[in-house]
Structure 1
Amino acid sequence: MNRFLPHFFSIIALSSLSVATVTMANTTPENPKLQLAQKLNCNNAQTQVEINQCAQLSYQNADKKLNQVYKKLLPTLSSSRKQKLITAQQAWIKFRDASCEFERSQYAGGTIAPTIYLGCLERTTQQRTQQLQDYLNSDN
């Protein structure tokens, strides 16, 4: 038994080298987000988790652009048109979310489902951003 222990511990030590490790940094109560030790490379995502994370980032960027255009457009409108846009935007958000939920449902339970959902959110958000940009560029 004693002659197998060194081999056992060597195998355990070597196998632990191939396991990716995640370190936490800046995890204070003011900043509870975890930061990964390695930077995410969305140009070469290798795993479904990475692909899902990249899809999340892409959607967040699209949503940020949408909000920028929306905030530029609102002050250019009369109060009645402003209220109509707010109502339309709220309805659009419900439509977008429901439509993307439907699209994701085809992959329910699969690891690709978040990518499908987030891709739909991004695509739909980009289309809406273009619509709002067109309103901004017109004579309101």
Structure 2
Amino acid sequence: MNEMIEKLGFVLLGALITGIGYLIKRKIESKPELEILDKHQKVLDIHKKMSEQGLDISGLNQFASMLTEKSSAVQSHVLDLNTKSVSHMQTSSIEHITQTEMNQMASDSYNRSLVKMNEVYAQLMSKLDSDRTEAYGSAQVKWNEYIEAHARSVADMYKGGSIYPLIYYSELETLVFERTARLQSELDELVSQGN
């Protein structure tokens, strides 16, 4: 009798293990189906939100294209500004130059880039309505604070050294080139729209 109960116990244990194994297998197999359903639901939600906002795939493609063109325009302006700065530095360079002279050249180059940026900024501001001029004005003030702090943090590695002004003004000039390029791109866009 004990032997029979023991055999029955093993059969029941085997059936229980088989059942648990089957349930685990089903759980694992259904996971990809749930993931697929979840992805479909997300796509449907995105489509619904796009429809509510009057957007379609072609509109998104146009927007992506516009951003790519704008980025290319900014890069083109930065390259142009850098080329002009380097060519000016090359015509000014001499065979033997002191650190003080290099520092002065960097300062002069930065000041020329700042004049160019301010010209583009003024042209842009003249094309904007009052709300946008206020927003751009506020952004420009914050940007000026940022570049000062950033240039100082970069140059601080050389604090007390004779190269500090060169690093400081070079960093400022790089940031001014980037800002000028962005402002020029905005101005170009407004001009192309007839503003």
User: If the length of structure 1 is used for normalisation, what is the TM-score?
Assistant: 0.69
Please say if 1:43 is aligned against 2:93: yes
Distance 1:81 1:66 in 2: 18
Structure 1 stretches of 4+ with a deviation exceeding 4 A read none
Query: What CA distance in whole angstroms lies between the structure 2 residues aligned with 1:136 and 1:89?
Result: 15
Q: Are the equivalent residues in 2 in contact too, given 1:42–1:50 (CA < 8 A)?
A: no
* 2:142 match: 91
Tell me the amino acid that sits aligned with residue 43 of structure 1. S
Secondary structure of 1:46 counterpart: coil
Is 1:107 paired with 2:158? yes
Superposed CA RMSD in Å reads 1.3
Matched ranges for 1:1-140 at <5 A: 42-44=92-94, 46-139=97-190
Whole-Å Cα distance in 2 between the matches of residues 54 and 109 of structure 1? 19
1:120 CA displacement: 0.5
Q: Secondary structure at the match of 2:159?
A: coil
- Count, aligned residues: 100
- Give aligned-pair identity as a percent: 35
Residues of 2 paired with 1:120 and 1:95: CA distance? 12
- The structure that has the greater radius of gyration is 2
SS in 2 for 1:138: helix
Q: RCO higher in 1 or 2 (8 Å CA, sep ≥ 6)?
A: 2
Q: Deviations over 1:105-125 (max 9, x none)?
A: 010110000000000011100
Distance in 2, matches of 1:117 and 1:137, equals 30
**Which segments of 5 or more consecutive residues in structure 2 lack a partner in the other structure?**
1-90
Give the unaligned 5+ runs of structure 1: 1-40
One-letter identity of the residue aligned with 2:136:
L
Q: Contact 1:42 / 1:51 at 8 angstroms: preserved in 2?
A: no
Q: Distance in 2 between matches of 1:76 and 1:53?
A: 35
